[in-house]
Amino acid sequence: MELAWYALLGLFFAGYLVLGGYDYGVGLLLARGADAARRRAALNAVGPYFLGNEVWLVAAVGILFGAFPVLEGELLAGCYPAALGALTGVILVTAGVQLRSRPDSRWARAGWDRVIMVGSLLAALGWGVVLAALLQGVPLHVDGHVAGVTHLFTPFAAATGLALVALVAAHGAAFLTLRLPAAEADRLRPLARRLVAAAVAAIAVAAVVGLLSDRVRAAAQRPAVGVLLAILLVAALLVARAALGRGRVGVAFAATATALALPVVLVGATLWPYVLVSTVEPGASLTVADAAASAPTLRLLGWLAVPLLPALLGFQAMCWWIFRGRTDGRAPVYW
Amino acid sequence: MDTLLLARLQFAATASVHFLFVAVTLGLVTLLVGLQTAWVLTGNPRYERLTRFWGQLYVINYVLGIATGIVMEFQFGLNWSGLSRYVGNVFGAPLAIETLVAFFLESTFLGMWIFGWHRLRRGVHLALLYGVALTAYASAFWIMVANSWLQNPVGYEVRGGVAHLTDFSALLTNPALWMALGHVVSAALLTGGLLMAAVSAWHLNRRTTDHALFRTSLRIGVVTATLAITFVQGFGFAQFGPVGAVQPTKFDSDNPDADALIADWTARFGPGDYLPPVPANVGLGFMILIGFGLGLLWLLLPLLWRDWIIRLRFPLWLLMLALPLPFVALILGWIAREVGRQPWVAYGLLPVDQAVSPISPWLMATSLTGFTLLLGALAVTNWVLLARHAARGAADPALGRPPAQPPADDSRPEPAFA
């Protein structure tokens, strides 16, 4: 039962990285031009999906709290600065996107667009560092608490944070080539290819730094799985790059989406059966089963929430279906 | 500096701002459902314009509800890791259900509603708004289930120092829940109704265009607020009995039940100050005063006859001046409920000092300052935008604007997607 909930937690967090990931990628790409119309077109490409994307994070944290309460407390409090940064980013993006078109003046809108860029950067960086913190282990003591926050400041955490920024930028560009009107999308493809290449480089650097880090090597329970998934991640990006070259933007987007979901699988599978590995006291490490809520709680959540999962996913799919295809001006321009 | 105090201040600040926005969300969405239903049933374009105008204000207000809500959700883990460690098995369940079953769907529906104008069939578009409203109420319900459990922990047993769920139905029949839920929901309707009445009054008093439109929303707002205030008062007073019975130290600590409870706590948790600070009840008295004052809305109701409420003018001023009152009362009521359970996170089960995360005070202070400034700035910006859009009138709201029409608020020369 714990495994099922762990998988569900992974599904929602990976879903957030894929869907929220292109929000942040589009947010970063607002830095691209001074042209106000282009920025607005990019945001409206995200338009109808935006509100349905960030809720995956809210749901993931809800599952974390309901099904893995001990993990929730120690992970967020133990990675305080990274979680704070990610949360600030999430808030800035959510407020920025929804409010940027409400004032009329050009400079106010340009100001909000800068808020969205900074927010996107912080969110991607913050979640990258949180994922790295899991992979490199945390100073979890026998009393069950993570001590201090300096354990976050390592070259591996920095490299992973930057890699996630590069990854969402490439993903956002792939999304725009899929969503914007054809002429504009074609102009964007070369940039998307360059961003995918940059993401490959950033991930390669993070992987090498990780392999050289004693903490990562010690924390990894199944290093072979980790390396395999990292190779898969790079392969997905190479597929995306080739597909962008041939104009197969749907394939490219699917590939970058896979690349954003894979880090979650990688962290979960490499650490299994642990979820928080202690760097100071091997006996204090937290397994998935230890971190989970007790059986009656999981049963209750299973009865109340799981039957509704098809509805949750179904209404999300309905949103994607209604607004499928390139932006064509048939829906109102709102953001 | 004291980590505990800073963490409490941060929670109080975030929750206060959150409450101000979600009350408007819940109140307005109910009125919007009525307006859009009227539009779909009658086909009268006035109701379409009303839906667009009030929908635009609703959507602007919604932003801060989400932003502060996400910060609250994270704060449980960031600042109160002891809460999830000791009582997460029970308290976490209603919160998890809220995020999955209510909020996830609410936001998904709202995105489709905003962009579905002119694209979806009218029935589907209306159904989406019903979805938004139903999930908003579900959200309020589950949050109140969680909060009531903190007020009066039930349906659990402690094994190995950790609370485990034994009886979920006890959470749903919690004496601290139902009257409080009714109180909060009717307070939200009061706030939404009064907001609608006050903004309409401003337009009617200024004699802006769209007299007929704002006359309609004035009447809807006044009737809603008047009915709601009676329910607010009823549910409010009905709470004293059940809440006082399960929390003897809350309203009045000079009673034998409170003395017995404090003796029991002193025996189990050691000596300490088990009484809530005084200000909780000072605010409560003031809130009750506001509640009685707003009860005078009933005197305005007869003035709807032959539009005397508009012709006499001064009722319009009264409505505008009354607008801040429900917001002040919301905060005071919340303080009475939350400060009144101190020094406990979960009443009689988990003291606040055991729940706070072992974080350095400097980090906590940074987080408190940063988020208070950030959310404060966003709240003020949001209110300025709300006021501007309210004042601009219903001529051409961006929400639901036909795609072919060139946006009046966007003076760019090129076509939209060039």
- Of the residues A300, A308, A318, the best mutation for testing chain B's interface (the one with the most B CB atoms within 10 Å of its CB) is A300
Query: Of B111, B357, B363, which has the smallest distance from its Cβ to A49's Cβ?
Result: B111
List Cα–Cα distances, B395 to A229, B48, B59, in angstroms: 56, 12, 17
Percent of chain A with pLDDT over 90: 87
Amino acid identity of residue A10, one-letter, is G
Q: How far is B339 from chain A (nearest CA, A)?
A: 23
Strand partners, A55: none
For residues A225 and A228, what is the distance between their CA atoms, to the nearest angstrom? 5
Per-residue pLDDT tens for B10-46? Answer: 999 999 999 999 999 999 999 999 999 999 999 999 9
Tally of domains within chain A: 1
Does A98 fall in a domain? yes
3-state secondary structure of A142: coil
A224 touches B: beta carbon within 8 Å: no
Mutation target to probe the A interface, by most A beta carbons within 10 A, among B68, B74, B389 is: B74
Burial B254-285 (b: 16+ CB within 10 A, else e): eeeebeebbeebeeeeeeeebebeeebbebbe
Nearest CA-CA distance, residue A216 and chain B, Å: 24
Q: What is the pLDDT of residue B412?
A: 44
| Partner B contacted by A331 (CB < 8 A) | yes
Q: How far is A105 from chain B (nearest CA, A)?
A: 8
* CA-based nearest residue in chain A for residue B94: A66
A182 near B CB under 8 A: no
Query: Mind telling me how many Å the CA of A335 is from chain B's nearest CA?
Result: 9
**Range of lowest pLDDT (A121-125, B167-171, B269-273, B326-330):** B269-273
> Which of A102, A290, A294, A318 to substitute to test the interface with B, most B CBs within 10 Å?
A102
Interface test with A, best of B115, B124, B369 (most A CBs within 10 A): B115
Whether the CB-CB separation of B213 and B46 falls below 8 Å is answered with yes
Which of B60, B73, B120 lies closest to A58 in CB terms? B73
Identify the pLDDT of residue B409.
Answer: 52
> So what's the pLDDT on residue A332?
79
Core vs surface per residue A102-140: b (16+ CB within 10 A) or e: bbeeeeebeebbebbbbbbbbbbbbbbbbbbbbbbbbbb
Count CB pairs under 8 A between chains A and B: 265
Neighboring chain A residues of B416 at a CB cutoff of 8 Å? 37, 40-41, 329, 333
Long-range contacts of residues B228-231, Cβ cutoff 8 Å, at least 24 apart? B228/B186, B228/B187, B228/B189, B228/B190, B228/B193, B229/B186, B229/B190, B229/B291, B229/B294, B229/B295, B229/B297, B230/B295, B230/B298, B231/B182, B231/B186, B231/B189
Would you say B331 and B282 are in contact if contact means Cβ atoms under 8 Å apart? no
Min Cα–Cα distance to chain B from A128, Å: 17
Does any CB of chain B come closer than 8 Å to the CB of residue A3? Answer: no
Q: CB distance B165–A37 less than 8 Å? A: no
Nearest to B93 among A75, A297, A333 (CB): A297
What global pTM score does this model have?
Answer: 0.94
pLDDT of residue B24: 97
B5, amino acid identity: L
Q: Are B60 and B389 in contact (CB under 8 A)?
A: yes
User: Residue A82 domain-assigned?
Assistant: yes
Contact B336, B151 (CB under 8 A): no
B66 to chain A: closest CA residue:
A94
Token duo for residue A210:
């990780």
Q: Which sequence spans correspond to the domains of chain B?
A: 3-392
Chain A residues closer than 8 Å to B79 by CB = 77
Q: Name the H helices within B98-177.
A: 104-115, 122-151, 168-172
Give me the helices (H) in A144-222, please: 155-179, 182-212, 214-219
Instruction: Decide if A59 and B99 are in contact by the 8 Å CB cutoff.
Output: yes
Burial class of residue B292, CB neighbours in 10 A (0-12, 13-18, 19+): exposed
* Residue B415 pLDDT greater than 60, yes or no: no
Task: Report whether A101 contacts B56 (CB < 8 A).
Answer: no
Q: Does A290 touch chain B (CB under 8 A)?
A: no
Cα gap A319→B294, rounded to integer Å: 42
Cross-chain residue pair A65–B120, CB shorter than 8 Å: no
User: If you average pLDDT over every residue of chain B, what do you get?
Assistant: 92
Distance from CA of B158 to the nearest CA of A (A): 12
CB contact under 8 A, A95 and B64: yes
Q: Check if A102 contacts B (Cβ < 8 Å).
A: yes
How far apart CA A147 and CA B3 sit, in angstroms, is: 15
pLDDT of residue A37: 86
> Does A142 touch chain B if contact means CB atoms closer than 8 Å?
no
Q: Which residue in chain B is spatially nearest to A318 when comparing CA positions?
A: B112
Q: How confident is the model at residue B407 (pLDDT cuts 50, 70, 90)?
A: low
Distance from C-alpha of A286 to C-alpha of A134, rounded to nearest angstrom: 11
Is A58's CB within 8 Å of B104's CB?
Answer: yes
pLDDT at A330: 73
pLDDT at position A148 is 86
| Amino acid letter, residue A226 | G
Contacts of A316 in chain B (CB under 8 A): 108
Q: How far off is chain B from A223, nearest CA to CA, in Å?
A: 29
Residue of B nearest to A317 (CA): B108
Return the number of other C-beta atoms located less than 10 Å from residue B406's C-beta. 10
Contacts of B168 in chain A (CB under 8 A): 300
Q: Which chain B residue has its CA at the smallest distance from A181's CA? A: B417
Asked whether residue A45 is assigned to any structural domain, the reply reads: yes
CB contact under 8 A, B111 and A64: no
Task: Name chain B contacts of A42, Cβ cutoff 8 Å.
Answer: none
Copy the structure tokens of residue A115: 């808020």
What CA–CA distance (Å, rounded) separates A226 from B366?
A: 36
In a domain, A209, yes or no: yes
Please answer whether residues A38 and A185 qualify as being in contact, where contact means their C-beta atoms are separated by less than 8 angstroms. no
In chain B, what residues touch A81 (CB-CB under 8 Å)?
A: 363
Alpha-carbon dihedral angle through residues A266, A268, A270, A274, given to the nearest 10 degrees: 170
CB A52 within 8 A of CB A316: yes
B391 — phi, psi (to 5°)? -70, -30
Contact A73 B166 (CB under 8 A): no
Q: Which residues of B touch A153 (CB under 8 A)?
A: none
Q: Among A55, A304, A322, whose Cβ lies nearest the Cβ of B104?
A: A55
A72 touches chain B (CB under 8 A): yes
Look at A77 and B357 and tell me if their CB atoms are within 8 Å: yes
- Is the pLDDT at B408 greater than 80? The verdict is no
- From B331's Cα to the closest Cα of chain A, the distance in A is 23
The residues near B375 (Cβ < 8 Å, ≥ 6 apart) are A91, B13, B14, B17, B64, B67, B68, B71
Is the pLDDT reported for residue B1 higher than 90? no
A332 lies in a domain? no
Chain A residues inside the 8 Å CB shell of B115 = 47-48, 323, 331-332, 334
What CATH number does residue A271 fall under?
1.20.1630
- Residue B56: closest CA among chain A residues belongs to which residue? A102
Say how many residues make up chain A: 335
Chain B closest-CA separation from residue A111 CA (Å): 13
In a domain, A328, yes or no: no
- The pLDDT of residue B227 is 97
Q: Domain range holding A117?
A: 2-137+145-322
pLDDT of residue A282: 86
Q: Which residues of chain A make contact with B412, given a CB cutoff of 8 A? A: 36-37
Q: Is residue A176 part of a domain?
A: yes
Q: In angstroms, rounded to a whole number, what is the distance separating the alpha carbons of residues B262 and A198?
A: 64
Low-confidence stretches of chain A (pLDDT < 70) are none
pLDDT, tens digit (0-9, with 9 covering 90-100), for B322-374:
999 999 999 999 999 999 888 999 999 999 999 999 999 999 999 999 999 99
- Write out the two tokens for A162: 């930057």
- Neighbour-count burial for A162-197, b at 16+ CB within 10 Å, e otherwise: bbbbbbbbbbbbbbbbbbbbeebbeebbebbbebbe
